Amino acid sequence: MAKVSINLATGSIQKEDIIVGIDLGTTNSLVAFINPDKDPLVINDAGKGVLVPSVVHFGPTGEVLVGNEAKEFLITDPQNTVFSVKRLLGRSYHDIENYKDFFSYKVIDDDTESLVKIKVGDKFYTPIELSALILKELKARAEHALKTPVNRAVITVPAYFNDSQRQATRDAGKLAGLDVLRIVNEPTAASLAYGIGLNPDETKTIAVYDLGGGTFDVSILQIQNGIFEVLATNGDTFLGGDDFDRIIVDYWIEKNQLNKADVIANNELAQQLRLKAEEAKKSFSHQSLFNEKIGDIWCTLDRADFEQLILPKVQQTITCCQNALKDAKLTTADIDEVIMVGGSTRTALVKKMVSEFFARPVHDDVNPDEVVALGAAIQADILAGNRKDILLLDVTPLSLGIETMGGLMDVIIPRNSKVPTKGGRQYTTSIDGQVNMKIAVYQGERDLIKENRKLAEFNLKGIPSMPAGFPKVDINFLLNADGILTIQAIELRSGVKQEVEVKPTYGITDEQVEQMLMDSITHAKDDISQRMIIEARTEGEQTIYTVENFLRKHGSHITAEETEKTNEHLVVLKEAIASGDKDQILKRIDEINEFTRPFAERLMDEAIATAMRGKSIE
Ligand code: ADP
Ligand code: MG
């Protein structure tokens, strides 16, 4: 038995390189990877810190700064400093017009339906380009810290991101020189970081509560067979830790009897107060009183007062949790695990209220602003095939089949079959004495193989010479739990056998699968009519082959006139095939069959008569 191995990649052998996980956040972004000990780790390049503020600054001569250095310019050079670009990714001006005042930089509204652009100086940037600058910085940091090129990544997005936002994220990755292997939902990544969902046998319903800098969302996920399904999401895209900071600033303005308008007018003071407020907020993670001064302004606050101040905001997030559960048609009793994500969940009151609402302890031991990136790194490791114990799919997303006559797809394992699974069918040759059979394996939902994705092709060689239709070639597909497809072809009369192994999911993204499914729906009608034409044509060609064969072998048994008439029939059938008119082809096939049927009968009679005379037929 010959064993052919096919490399499905672009032909070259895939060098084992690192795949990173990236959390591209509204406030902060970061990158993580899996170290050789299999632990997910965040990257802290040259002690610059793990979190890279998602801020881009453009200097007067075009130099670009990303991260902490750029963040400083939010105060001194707001027009040329872009923050929160994630809010604009994949959005049209129409989507954001209600909150355009939120941005201190210029968001362009040339056409309300097309995607927004941002003007900095005299240049226009798309949110994709700006996000790419952040991703490039993360890529550079990872490469510097790991001392190896980083070209492939998994990037996370909020569960509520639509297709356009996901595509924009993917494009940003591409622009940053990254091959984005997968876009993963942030709650899914967070769950993986806690090891929830890694066991394909467990079924769980979880809530992921994510309170970041400027946004809040809660997702209810169902995990089954290693597949994460978003049952509901809820949230508020303008509610986050920044609100806590603003509330503290307002409180200090009041306590110091300052005029709020004066403070706002004094940009520097306003920003100083904001930073001090954030410092105070964070300090409550380890102390209960904050007491500092800016000039002669007292910045004093204790934790109890802080909690009192932010209570209404936290209450708002709990209402979102309630709504999410309602949408998912569940109650808190149905939730098996609650996961805390986002820097703002370090706030004790937040943890307390979430835990009380769900009536169970929450998962908070993984750093909440790192948990998404860590989970993305785990997902990357799974995609790299380094975790053999984990199933990536439990159903095959696309049908698997082979090419048959006329370039048609013959499905052997239909889509959505549970793996492991097998399927098979018997084929035969179409030409007399055919000793090789090409077996081309495809994946996809279209009727024509040229619209599907080719996985492999091989030749079953050494079929003994037999008339067309005699060999029996069994083709069996076996799809194992890892998604590896083994294709086996055996000619039953001779025992000639060949086997090929391929990985159908290799190099194919969820989006591509989706696209292929979408295409099969949009083109279903065309496909059916095309399939019918091809089938008619194939049948026509088979008929021509058989009839010509008959004339060659048994021409002497029919009259010259019959031969001439038969040839005329062949000509019109060939014309019909060339015209591609299905009905014409079928009509001509019927005619020629009708005309030649008596020949075969006569031949049979003659053969019998000959045999009765005691002579053998040739
Ligand atoms: P995003 O996902 O929106 O990019 P992050 O998850 O990085 O945001 O969260 C950033 C927010 O977390 C900021 O508002 C920051 O002030 C807040 N934060 C960070 N550490 C703490 C802490 N110890 N206590 C309270 N809030 C914190
Ligand atoms: Mg986040």
CATH number assigned to the domain comprising residue 408: 2.60.34.10
Pocket flag, ligand 1, residue 346 (CB < 6 Å): yes
Identify whether residues 373 and 347 lie together within a single domain: no
Beta bridge partners of 478: 422, 486
**Residue range 221-226: average pLDDT?**
82
| Of the listed ranges 223-227, 349-353, 404-408, the one predicted with least confidence | 223-227
The alpha carbon of 612 and the centre of ligand 2 are apart by a number of angstroms equal to 90
Q: Name the pLDDT band for 417 (thresholds 50, 70, 90).
A: confident
Domain-located, residue 376: yes
Q: Is there a contact between 157 and 376 (Cβ–Cβ < 8 Å)?
A: no
**Residue range 294-310: average pLDDT?**
97
Last residue of a domain, one of 318, 350, 383: 383
The alpha carbon of 476 and the centre of ligand 1 are apart by a number of angstroms equal to 55
In the chain, % of residues over pLDDT 70: 90
Pocket flag, ligand 1, residue 40 (CB < 6 Å): no
Ligand 1 probe mutation, 28, 74, 371, most atoms within 8 A of CB? 28
Identify whether residues 83 and 182 lie together within a single domain: yes
Q: Name the pLDDT band for 443 (thresholds 50, 70, 90).
A: confident
17 carries an active-site annotation:
no
**Residue range 59-88: average pLDDT?**
93
| Of the listed ranges 154-163, 189-198, 603-612, the one predicted with least confidence | 603-612
Rounded Cα gap, residues 158 and 606, in angstroms = 79
Show Cβ contacts of residue 157 under 8 Å, excluding neighbours closer than 6 positions.
Answer: 24, 165, 166, 169, 183, 184, 185, 186
Domain-located, residue 392: no
Q: Name the pLDDT band for 207 (thresholds 50, 70, 90).
A: very high
User: How many Å from the N-terminal Cα to the C-terminal Cα in the chain?
Assistant: 36
Domain-located, residue 230: yes
Q: Name the pLDDT band for 236 (thresholds 50, 70, 90).
A: very high
Instruction: Give the ligand whose atoms come closest to the C-alpha of residue 49.
Output: 1
Domain-located, residue 388: no
Q: Is the pLDDT of residue 341 over 90?
A: yes
Identify whether residues 212 and 333 lie together within a single domain: yes
Pocket flag, ligand 1, residue 213 (CB < 6 Å): yes
Domain-located, residue 389: no
Identify whether residues 358 and 373 lie together within a single domain: no
Q: Is there a contact between 285 and 346 (Cβ–Cβ < 8 Å)?
A: yes
Rounded Cα gap, residues 142 and 161, in angstroms = 26
Q: Is the pLDDT of residue 287 over 90?
A: yes
**CA atoms lying within 13 Å on the CB side of residue 259:** 4
Identify whether residues 102 and 9 lie together within a single domain: yes
Q: Name the pLDDT band for 482 (thresholds 50, 70, 90).
A: low
**Residue range 480-489: average pLDDT?**
78
CA distances from 31 to 52, 374, 375, 524 (A): 9, 8, 11, 42
Identify whether residues 336 and 428 lie together within a single domain: no
Q: Name the pLDDT band for 392 (thresholds 50, 70, 90).
A: very low
DSSP designation for 463: P
**Residue range 163-184: average pLDDT?**
89
Q: Is the pLDDT of residue 614 over 50?
A: no
What's the CATH code of the domain at 550?
1.20.1270.10
The alpha carbon of 218 and the centre of ligand 2 are apart by a number of angstroms equal to 12
Domain-located, residue 618: no
| Of the listed ranges 106-110, 185-189, 261-265, the one predicted with least confidence | 106-110
**Residue range 109-118: average pLDDT?**
76
| Of the listed ranges 25-29, 140-144, 411-415, the one predicted with least confidence | 411-415
Identify whether residues 316 and 353 lie together within a single domain: yes
Q: Is the pLDDT of residue 288 over 50?
A: yes
Identify whether residues 285 and 345 lie together within a single domain: yes
Pocket flag, ligand 1, residue 28 (CB < 6 Å): yes
| Of the listed ranges 208-212, 225-229, 372-376, the one predicted with least confidence | 225-229
Domain-located, residue 521: no
485-515 confidence digits (pLDDT tens) = 889 999 998 898 988 877 665 556 667 777 7
Identify whether residues 467 and 601 lie together within a single domain: no
User: β-strand 117-120 against 81-83: which pairing, if any?
Assistant: unpaired
Could you count the other beta carbons within 10 Å of the beta carbon of residue 465?
Answer: 11
201 carries an active-site annotation:
no
**Residue range 81-103: average pLDDT?**
88
Last residue of a domain, one of 510, 543, 564: 510
- By the 10 Å C-beta count (0-12 exposed, 13-18 middle, 19+ buried), 591 is classed as middle
- By the 10 Å C-beta count (0-12 exposed, 13-18 middle, 19+ buried), 559 is classed as exposed
The predicted structure's pLDDT at residue 508: 64
Q: Name the pLDDT band for 215 (thresholds 50, 70, 90).
A: very high
Domain-located, residue 119: yes
Identify whether residues 255 and 349 lie together within a single domain: yes
How many distinct helices (H) and strands (E) make up the chain?
Answer: 16, 27
**Residue range 371-384: average pLDDT?**
92
Could you count the other beta carbons within 10 Å of the beta carbon of residue 240?
Answer: 24
The alpha carbon of 207 and the centre of ligand 1 are apart by a number of angstroms equal to 19
Q: Is the pLDDT of residue 95 over 50?
A: yes
Catalytic residue among 129, 137, 171, 210: 210
Rounded Cα gap, residues 194 and 372, in angstroms = 10
In the chain, % of residues over pLDDT 90: 54
The alpha carbon of 147 and the centre of ligand 2 are apart by a number of angstroms equal to 27
Q: Is the pLDDT of residue 404 over 50?
A: yes
The predicted structure's pLDDT at residue 11: 34
Indicate the number of domains in the chain. 4
**Residue range 406-433: average pLDDT?**
86
Last residue of a domain, one of 383, 414, 444: 383
Mean pLDDT of the chain: 87
The predicted structure's pLDDT at residue 618: 38
Rounded Cα gap, residues 303 and 350, in angstroms = 13
Pocket flag, ligand 1, residue 285 (CB < 6 Å): yes
Identify whether residues 63 and 147 lie together within a single domain: yes
What's the CATH code of the domain at 312?
3.30.420.40
Q: Is the pLDDT of residue 113 over 80?
A: no
Q: Is the pLDDT of residue 14 over 60?
A: no
| Of the listed ranges 477-481, 501-505, 562-566, the one predicted with least confidence | 501-505
Q: Is the pLDDT of residue 409 over 80?
A: yes
The predicted structure's pLDDT at residue 611: 53
The model scores a pTM over 0.75? no
The predicted structure's pLDDT at residue 481: 62
Rounded Cα gap, residues 516 and 276, in angstroms = 52
Write out the residue range of the structural domain in which residue 147 sits: 5-194+368-383
23 carries an active-site annotation:
yes
**Residue range 233-259: average pLDDT?**
96
Catalytic residue among 129, 171, 186, 337: 186
210 carries an active-site annotation:
yes
**Residue range 32-39: average pLDDT?**
90
Q: Name the pLDDT band for 277 (thresholds 50, 70, 90).
A: very high
Identify whether residues 160 and 244 lie together within a single domain: no
The residue whose C-alpha atom lies closest to atom 18 belonging to ligand 1 is: 343
Q: Name the pLDDT band for 229 (thresholds 50, 70, 90).
A: confident
Pocket flag, ligand 1, residue 537 (CB < 6 Å): no
Is 328 strand, coil or helix?
coil
The predicted structure's pLDDT at residue 317: 98
Question: Would you say how long the chain is, in residues?
Answer: 618
